[in-house]
Amino acid sequence: MSSDPLGSETATKPASELVQALRDRSISSRELLDLYLARHRDLGQSINAVVTIDEEAAVAAATAADEQLATGGDHPPLLGLPMTMKDALATAGMRSTGGAIELADHVPDTDAEVVARVRQAGGVIFGKTNLPRWSADVQAYNEIFGTTNNPWDLACGPGGSSGGASAAVAAGLTGADLGTDIGGSVRLPAHFAGVCGHKPTFGVVPQLGYISHPSYPRSEPDVNVIGPIARTVDDLELLFDVIAGPRADQSSAWRLELPAPRDQDPTKLRVAMHLDDPYVPVGSEVGDALQAAAAALAGSGVTLTEAWPHDLAFGDVEDLGLPLISAATSPGRSDEDFAELQAIVLDPDAHPPSLQMRAKSSAMFHRDWLLMVERREANRAKWQRFFDDYDVLLAPVAMVAAFEHVHDGHLYSRRLTVDGVERSYHQLIMWTSQFGYVGLPSTVVPVGLTPRGVPVGIQVVGPHYGDRTTLAFARHIERVLGGYQVPPLAR
């Protein structure tokens, strides 16, 4: 690219390598920022991932970072790294919309806590990445900014809801990004765009400043988490270490100290796998890639055991997990939407079961929600017993790889064809919601490409507070299978 003075090789390097290059002063923050801005000018229109840029503020921050780096000595862990943020995270002085037309001109006065932590760690935040309205879809499309395209195939989406983040990271338009995940919104985009993503254990990363509805500032939703999207697992851990820990208003009372893996040798970890399930069958192209990955891991010395909690029905994700997620996202429903949902509750037989579930979950009595939470706690206990015997579980991220854009309808009204069979679109989030509604950590890492040339990722799931273990085993998968690849469009 003529306007890319340092080249795509630099732009697509891991963030951890870029941070080291900044410390070695083999590259400056200003040069790296200029590189990403130039790539945005060249690729931005075709991908449409970075939808708001504040170049003036970013130049000032990068210049200040270079001055600090020139002094030598110890520096904050992200000092000088140009980064973007999902547009669901409030960013002071920068338009932050949540993908909702109601907030099209919203400029917060205060950073989300994770954004503030990135700034304190020296990150140079230069832009915001695209998403669906209120982060509520498996794509990145909204009325304000339009559609984000997958850099591996522009006719397809990069997943959602953190799809702008995954596309920007995959195409080398940013050093890294932070996304949000309530039904898979970090993990699904990582899978669809061929990058790495980490969904932390619920509660270890503060959510204040997450824009999930118009009156968002002081609330933290159920189920949701905030996590990093990056090109390597090392990058995930670098960013996770920056954002994890108690909320500022709770930091006087507790500290976060996550356990290390049971064994530092990943081949000695107890690894379960459940790579398909008749309740949500995995499509052939994804299934083939996952089986090949399992064979490669076995060849590396890992012992893999087919296992699933014997007392946990996979279908609980539809009966319990998805309703809890629908309830948690209900503040984002407009008054008009809520009235329509209440009408469905009063006349359920006129609507399909998935729409009935969505309506009942959004309009349920508090007593009903509390009873669902009791059932969730029982399932959490089942997972805890399962992880007494295993360190991690390998699972699919989704039943399909990247597919063509579809904007009509919503998550519970669309249909999707998999291996010639028409299926409900909401099945896309069942493999991720399965672990999300019970708060388990999950790391996604790429394992290869389908025959049509789009990426496939795998989930590494662990017990509560087992984030270090899922990251460690994902790092082993990355070593064995190669991890992130640069999409041809971005080379």
Q: Confirm whether 161 is a catalytic residue.
A: yes
Give every CB contact of residue 177 below 8 A, 6+ residues apart in sequence. Answer: 83, 84, 85, 86, 129, 162, 165, 166, 168, 169, 228, 229, 230
Amino acid 260: pLDDT: 98
CA–CA gap between residue 125 and residue 287 (Å, rounded): 38
Catalytic residue among 28, 29, 161, 424: 161
Asked if the model's pLDDT at residue 398 lies above 90, the reply is yes
In a domain, 118, yes or no: yes
**Into how many domains does the chain fold?**
1
Report the share of the chain in percent with pLDDT over 90: 90
**pLDDT at site 353:** 83
pLDDT score, position 345:
82
Chain position carrying tokens 């909401």: 426
Assess whether pLDDT exceeds 50 at residue 372. Answer: yes
pLDDT of 313 > 90? The answer is yes
- Give me the pLDDT at residue 339, please: 86
Find the domain containing 191 and state its range. 8-259
Please determine, for residue 5, whether its predicted confidence score (pLDDT) is greater than 60.
no
Does 266 score more than 80 pLDDT?
yes
CB 128, CB 178: distance < 8 Å: no
CA-CA distance, 378 to 391, in Å (whole number)?
20
Q: CA nearest 139: which of 477, 475, 428? A: 428
Note whether residue 137 is domain-resident.
yes
Residue 109, domain member (yes or no)? yes
| 85 in any annotated domain | yes
Q: Tell me how far apart the alpha carbons of residues 296 and 172 are, in angstroms, rounded to a whole number.
A: 28
Give the model confidence (pLDDT) of 247-258 as tens digits.
Answer: 999 999 999 999
Answer yes or no: is 281 within a domain.
no
pLDDT per residue over 104-145, tens digit each? 999 999 999 999 999 999 999 999 999 999 999 999 999 999
User: Residue 91 domain-assigned?
Assistant: yes
For the cut 80, the answer to whether the pLDDT of residue 479 exceeds it is yes
State yes or no: pLDDT of 2 exceeds 60. no
Is 460 contained in some domain? no
**Among 86, 128, 199, 360, the one annotated catalytic:** 86
**Annotated catalytic residue 268:** no
Alpha-carbon dihedral 29, 468, 322, 284, rounded to 10 degrees: 90
Mean pLDDT (whole number) for 438-452: 98
Model confidence pLDDT, tens digit, residues 293-311 = 999 999 999 999 999 999 9
Residue 4 confidence (pLDDT) above 80? no
Tell me, yes or no, whether 408 lies in a domain: no
Question: Residues of the chain with pLDDT > 70: what percent?
Answer: 99
The confidence score (pLDDT) of residue 136 equals: 95
| Catalytic site residue from 28, 29, 96, 185 | 185
| pLDDT at position 55 | 98
How confident is the model over 324-339, as pLDDT tens digits?
A: 999 999 998 888 888 8
Is 13 part of the annotated catalytic residue set?
A: no
Q: What is the pTM of this model?
A: 0.96
Q: Pick the closest to residue 401 from 486, 290, 484 (CA basis).
A: 290
Q: What is the mean pLDDT of the chain?
A: 96
**Residue 192 pLDDT > 50, yes or no?**
yes
Q: What is the mean pLDDT of residues 443-463?
A: 98
Residue 3 has pLDDT above 50, yes or no: no
Comparing CA positions, the residue from 189, 177, 70 lying closest to residue 123 is 177
CATH number for the domain harbouring residue 235: 3.90.1300.10
Confidence tier at 416 by pLDDT (50, 70, 90): very high
Q: Reply yes or no on whether the pLDDT at 346 is more than 90.
A: no
Q: Tell me the backbone φ, ψ of residue 404, rounded to 5 degrees.
A: -65, 150
